[in-house]
Amino acid sequence: MFIGKVLRKLLSANVLASLIVAVFTVGVHAANIAVLMSSDATAYQEALEGFREVVRHRIAGVQILQKGNPAEWQQQLKRLRSVIEPDVVFVIGTPALQAVASEITNIPVVHAMVFNPFGALSGPGKNVIGISMNPSAAQVISLLRELNPKYRRVGTMLDPSRSGPVLLRARSVFQKEGFQLVAKEIRSASDIGGALKSLENEIDVFWLWPDETFLTDEMLQRIFLFSFARRIPVLGLSERHTDMGALLSLSYGSAKDLGRQAGEAANKLLDGANRVLVSHLTPRQLKLTVNFKTARKLDIKVPDSIVRRAENVVKAPLYRDNDWWVFRIKIIDPSGATTTELHRVVFRNNKFESDDPSFLTGGDVAGTPFFLPFASVYLTDPERKWLDFPLVPGKTWSFHYRRNRFNPRDRNVTMLAHPFAEVVGKAPHLIETPAGKFEAIEIWRTEYVGEPAELRYFYSPQSQSVVKLRAEISGKYPWQFELELLAYGTGGDLGKTAR
């Protein structure tokens, strides 16, 4: 009898547990989610992938908007809703949000990859929430404090009809943190000149506001000219803004993670969370870029802490024992005669070794009277900064080293050389060599070796070396040097490579 009672209790407990699991499973998968995408762009696909990773409910259908007018988009949406009857709609991109906003008011709409949601909808409805593509006011303040603690007055321009409530929230955060947000209200592009004029004595830094109406190339050029003329740095919203002249830009770091954030927001809404608690979300992952040319024009020292984490910098390489490289140099003398040399370099015991030490340290090449360092892997002598990491567009550096300059009267005269180098282009330059295709950053270097010399390096983080180089020595007796990477790797028999 006792055993029978125990078995019945166990059986009842198991049945109850099974029922709980079944109910929980039904609850998890009870909701249907419809997805509407503005296009099949890669960034939008990445956002959808991130959403799928975390959402706990069933994605019942995905619709990509066909090219056409908004009326056709709304028809697509109606067909999607009639088939799926969604509990939540996830929209990706501005056109998708605009198509949904006027049609759906009774169920939650979650958006991602929308640049200016308030402006796109002239004020989102109460059922619309989303993940901003742009940094929050708090994130901007944190970066400005790091750039220069004296920066307290931040200027911007915006159309209040497209950004009013967002401005109120931002201004409140700035004021709480001891900053002043000086916002000039403009209604059209023709108002920008007057707005900039009125800001010139009132601000320390200019923050580009996320309103695509005033972010055309023409308007941006006017803002950057204002920046250079008044020595007022600009904080942009994308790497493109950095390339155009912004000192720094802060933007979303991952479309996939924006999708994850949207998925988490959808989970909370379907679990019954208050919409207000999951609204006004900003990117967790941010992308920071810096422009050294602009810093030089504005006479601003960008802190190392910012440079080190900027996304558009090439960081210092990390070498391992038995890393190796094989380079080929072609030398064209003033008569047009060509000589070819192979040089092998290997990293052992925390230093570089070469079959020709002068290739690493700089020295006469093929009997020429010139001291030119070609190997970018030589980093052990602080006086010889062939490359100065981190490499970032616009960065310049100079250095000196002692050398024995060839002289017919005294063949061993010690001199100081003062080369100058500048990163003139950003990765990726797609460079092809016998070792493969590489994304490389371009560096120019000049120095005087008895005659003016110009060197053009292409450095690749992939091989941790220069993959191509061209040097020209001008003057009465011009010489040319061309270097390219033949092979590289770790371990193996270097002696059998690229012969």
Q: Which CATH superfamily is domain 137-252+284-309 in?
A: Response regulator (3.40.50.2300)
Instruction: Give residue 417's pLDDT.
Output: 63
- Every domain of the chain and the residues it spans: 2-133+257-278, 137-252+284-309, 323-496
Question: HSE (CB half, 13 Å, CA atoms) of 51?
Answer: 31
Instruction: Give residue 11's pLDDT.
Output: 38
Instruction: Give residue 9's pLDDT.
Output: 44
Instruction: Give residue 141's pLDDT.
Output: 97
**Secondary structure of residue 436 in the 3-state scheme:** strand
Q: Are 301 and 295 a contacting pair, CB within 8 Å?
A: yes
Instruction: Give residue 285's pLDDT.
Output: 95
Q: Which CATH class is domain 2-133+257-278?
A: alpha beta
Could you tell me the pTM of the whole model? 0.79
List the alpha helices (DSSP H) in 102-156: 117-121, 137-147
Instruction: Give residue 352's pLDDT.
Output: 85
Q: Are 332 and 314 a contacting pair, CB within 8 Å?
A: no
Instruction: Give residue 68's pLDDT.
Output: 66
**How many residues does the structure list for the chain?**
499
Instruction: Give residue 494's pLDDT.
Output: 54
Instruction: Give residue 15's pLDDT.
Output: 38
- Give the H or E element holding residue 63: strand 58-64
Compute the mean pLDDT over every residue in the chain, rounded to the nearest whole number: 83
**Domains 2-133+257-278 and 323-496 alike in fold:** no
Instruction: Give residue 32's pLDDT.
Output: 92
* CA–CA separation, 328 and 342 (whole Å): 5
Q: For 176, phi and psi rounded to 5 degrees?
A: -60, -35
Instruction: Give residue 85's pLDDT.
Output: 85
323-496: which CATH number, 2.160.20, 1.20.120, 3.40.462, 2.40.360? Answer: 2.40.360
Give tens-digit pLDDT for 172-183.
999 999 999 999
Ranges under pLDDT 70 in the chain: 1-29, 68-70, 122-125, 275-280, 361-384, 401-417, 427, 449-450, 492-499
Instruction: Give residue 376's pLDDT.
Output: 61
